[in-house]
Structure 1
């Protein structure tokens, strides 16, 4: 097996990374592409904290990620090995984490907030994609997700946005924007706009990588 082609997809909270990835992955089979997400490498802390402590704990720092494990798993995938990882459940005590089996593929997607900040990971990337959205749009997406899907209060979401999310984005992601090969502005509420972008990128990859 030739060296896999590594794509890094970075974007702040509310930029629309999840939807972009969903659209992108639909262009490929499971044998052609695999995905490894930074979110599954948070150090587990929920069982140590009260609900109030959890609210003030800053998850938007590189130190909250077990980057050694993250890097080791990326290396394993690059060497054609399968990895097994416990799913991260975002400190939801009612969620039962699944065991994720990720098989290596010709295209490996690495996604997350800090993937460009972690130098060893950034150096492995063949294609760097930066997804961004205007601040007010990103915040509305964050509110919708955290209020509905994760059961956070409005106060909690706004506190995290002002004190954790925005400072982390400015310090650990935005400085690397200029190093990226593609910058995608995702302010649209039309799914077709992102679908068109992913079709263009996937078509190029089929011509250059999957031959």
Structure 2
């Protein structure tokens, strides 16, 4: 197949990436677009000791199996279907699904470090930076981690201060100026997402 058009989507924790992606993907036909997420390439936490897990920083580029991530992107470029077990963020109540990622004319690559990883960044045709005010992002993070992932409040706050914010400032903010589109998502307003999807799809001459 021809090289896909690659859209990179990155954002701070709590910027509403999941909300954005759901709205964005629904704007296209299933055979037009496929998504590969950096989150599904975390190095398993069960490879760490209990003490390391308490302080283990998931917000570093080394927490991701970078080579495997890039390899699977390359497979999609070659027209091959990728199979990958979903990462469930150590939640024992969730049974991970086997993801089937099929090649498509549009490839969306999503994750915190996709601009930092040079080999991935060089493949991107269009870059989207999703952001939110820190107070809004923290509130979203607390709701997600306390309810969906079963973390305690002190743990969430420790990681926010010591892991999340420093990683955002070091590995994402420096790339903001090179992005084609910056979306400030403080309200989860569907009109903002729909407008971005419409503009990009029109640019691709898909609709």
> With structure 2 as the length reference, what TM-score do the two structures score?
0.94
Unaligned runs of 5+ in 2: none
Which string of whole-angstrom CA distances, capped at 9 and with x for unpartnered residues, describes residues 99-119 of structure 1?
111100000000000000000
> Cα offset for 1:47?
5.4
Counterparts of 1:6 and 1:123 in 2: how far apart (Å)? 10
Conserved in 2, the CA contact under 8 Å of 1:20 and 1:198? Answer: no
Say whether 1:160 aligns with 2:190: no
Match for residue 16 of structure 1? Answer: 16
> Cα offset for 1:196?
2.9
Counterparts of 1:35 and 1:157 in 2: how far apart (Å)? 28
Alignment of 1:34-183 (within 5 A): 34-46=34-46, 48-50=48-50, 53-183=52-182
Say whether 1:30 aligns with 2:30: yes
Counterparts of 2:30 and 2:195 in 1: how far apart (Å)? 21
Counterparts of 1:203 and 1:24 in 2: how far apart (Å)? 13
Q: CA RMSD in A?
A: 1.5
SS at match of 2:9: strand
Counterparts of 1:191 and 1:152 in 2: how far apart (Å)? 29
> Cα offset for 1:178?
1.0
Which string of whole-angstrom CA distances, capped at 9 and with x for unpartnered residues, describes residues 27-58 of structure 1?
112210000000000111235433x6433110
Conserved in 2, the CA contact under 8 Å of 1:143 and 1:157? Answer: yes
SS at match of 2:107: strand
SS at match of 1:124: coil
Conserved in 1, the CA contact under 8 Å of 2:19 and 2:188? Answer: no
Counterparts of 2:53 and 2:23 in 1: how far apart (Å)? 32
Q: Indicate how the Cα distance of structure 1 residues 189 and 87 shifts in structure 2: closer, same or farther if over 3 A, else same.
A: closer
Conserved in 1, the CA contact under 8 Å of 2:127 and 2:181? Answer: yes
> Cα offset for 1:192?
3.1
Aligned residues: 207
Counterparts of 1:47 and 1:70 in 2: how far apart (Å)? 18
> Cα offset for 1:202?
2.6
> Cα offset for 1:199?
2.7
> With structure 1 as the length reference, what TM-score do the two structures score?
0.93
